[in-house]
A and B are shown apart, each in its own frame.
Chain A
Amino acid sequence: MTRRLAINPIACTGHGLCADLLPELIRLDEWGYPMMPEHPVPDHLAALARRACGTAGPPMARSPLAAPMATNG
């Protein structure tokens, strides 16, 4: 199964942990905000990216990849 990684751009604070963890999928723009791949990614990688974002402590609590924005691709 694959799914598309979507982002909640308001919640994203640009910590960049998703790109640290999945550099082959997610690049950062010159201001440090993640650019999502346009193609669907395997489920386990999508889950990994969301966990990286959602487990980084209080400042990341509203982070994008933890939010229910990832949709079935």
Chain B
Amino acid sequence: MTMAPDMRATVPRHARPADRPLGLVKRLTIGWRDTDRVTALGTHLQRYGALPPHPPGTLIEAVTSAGLTGRGGAGFPTGVKMRAVAERRGPAIVVANGMESEPASDKDEALLSRAPHLVLDGAAAAAREVGATTVAVCLPRAKQWLLTLVREAVAERVRAGYDLVAIEVYDLPHGYVSSSESALVNWLNGGEAKPLAVPPRPFEKGVGRRPTMISNVETFAHIALIARFGPGWFRQAGLPDAPGSMLITTSGAVAAPGVYEVDAGITIGAALSLSGGAAEHIASVLVGGYFGSWHNTAEVTTMPLASSALKRIGAGPGAGVIVALPAHACGLRETARVLGWLAGEGAQQCGPCMFGLPAIAEDFAQLATGRPQGQLLDRLHRRLGMVSGRGACAHPDGAVRLARSALAAFAADARAHAAGLPCLPARQGRSPANAMPIPASAGGWR
């Protein structure tokens, strides 16, 4: 691919030498701490240079050899996705997903509010490459300030005549399942922001029946940098099987919770350390968000935050989410609160999810409060085995993964609760923590 050498000089100094441990990276996050506000187009172009022109096909090649994977949670190879869309007949469309419905993630909001032009650059470049003339940026309606900010960034680009594609910004209702690909397609086509049964998948027939490339906003920001600096540069951060940098969100019992840009594949222990370390004893961590899994801290401290490694223990990095549970909190109680919320966040479309998740959440509530009815654990395990894989989307599967991991990570507490006895945190006379954020219900699907 062609690249302007003078533009390569600005960023690659952040490359990781072989002997530097994985840690903080500054690529997407350059200038965030200094200014703590939105980067104007002029500053953005000074910082990163202009997007160099690409002969058709070369950006897909660059993204593929960079090994970029989707940063929204599913981790699908972005080059494969782009190629699938580009190879379909007719004009395509690109959708930038900034819905960030994961309650424990803040990184998309942080990225869009500091560096919207990185996201818009990447989406515009991807659009040209896959044969799209339009980019649709999808944002939650509840964040009007962010919508205003991104719309102003788009207006800046229009005034400068910077883009060859049209960029539209849309405000969508904000349920947990509303950020899934097919829910965005459904809403953009005039329907409700609820998942659809697949196939057809969006790359086959999506918005306006066009082949549709949907990716997380952070993924597009990485595309913007790969387009400038190339796949070799991208791979100078991260691990060979988890290349590049990634934004993570840490929360809970760490001294400095927040959004950090790190080498992909950084260990979970290192991620906790750079978040200020333990604010109090961390007994367990939730890895991957509310569709993720609980683990004893000691078990995962040396585990890389990368799907290749985490899948061996049934986990995944999700959208780069780590929640540190303080030792004084009851993990079952926290999980019960989250499951209760997830049960209400379904699209109410598929029976096993519509009836199964509330039943599971009720079982978990009985477990959490130490008031078991009937053969609670037997019933709960049976129900957990019954709903996975039976929805149009992965909502029931995610909730089941969370519940199962809690029963494993907090096994001793679960046995105590199921026998109507207090768990260890309760025996130590400590109060429950409410460590997990539970968002207000979004209301409405249109």
Chain A: interface residue count, which band? 10 to 19
With an 8 A cutoff between CB atoms, is B349 at the interface?
yes
Is A9 in contact with B352, judged by CB distance below 8 angstroms?
Answer: yes
Is B352 in contact with A33, judged by CB distance below 8 angstroms?
Answer: yes
Please report the C-alpha to C-alpha distance between residue A3 and residue B349 in the assembled complex, in whole angstroms: 26
* Chain B contacts for A69, CB-based, 8 A: 197
Main secondary structure of the interface of B (DSSP, over half): helix
- Chain A, 1-38, CB within 8 A of any chain B CB: 7-14, 29-33, 35
| Stretch touching chain A among B137-145, B384-392, B415-423 | B384-392
Is A33 in contact with B197, judged by CB distance below 8 angstroms?
Answer: no
Contacts A9-B197, A9-B391, A11-B197 given; indicate if A35 touches B386 (C-beta within 8 A).
Answer: yes
Shortest CB–CB separation between residue A15 and chain B, in angstroms?
11
Please report the C-alpha to C-alpha distance between residue A52 and residue B390 in the assembled complex, in whole angstroms: 20
Q: How many residues of B contact A (CB 8 A)?
A: 16
Is B386 in contact with A30, judged by CB distance below 8 angstroms?
Answer: yes
Looking at A9, A13, A29, A35, which has the most chain B CB atoms within 10 Å of its CB?
A: A9
Shortest CB–CB separation between residue A14 and chain B, in angstroms?
5
With an 8 A cutoff between CB atoms, is B376 at the interface?
no
With an 8 A cutoff between CB atoms, is B356 at the interface?
yes
* Chain A contacts for B349, CB-based, 8 A: 9-10
Is A31 in contact with B351, judged by CB distance below 8 angstroms?
Answer: yes
Is B352 in contact with A31, judged by CB distance below 8 angstroms?
Answer: yes
Please report the C-alpha to C-alpha distance between residue A8 and residue B392 in the assembled complex, in whole angstroms: 7
* Contact surface of B with A, Cβ cutoff 8 Å: 196-197, 349-353, 355-356, 359, 383, 386-387, 390-392
Q: Pick the 3 closest A-B CB pairs, nearest first.
A: A9-B350, A31-B355, A33-B351
- Beyond A10-B196, A33-B390, A35-B386, 18 additional contacts (C-beta under 8 Å) are A9-B197, A9-B350, A9-B351, A9-B353, A9-B391, A10-B197, A10-B350, A12-B350, A12-B351, A14-B351, A29-B386, A29-B387, A30-B383, A31-B355, A32-B351, A33-B355, A35-B390, A69-B197
The 13 listed contacts between A and B (C-beta, < 8 Å) are A8-B392, A9-B349, A9-B350, A9-B391, A10-B350, A11-B197, A13-B351, A30-B359, A31-B355, A31-B356, A33-B351, A33-B355, A35-B386
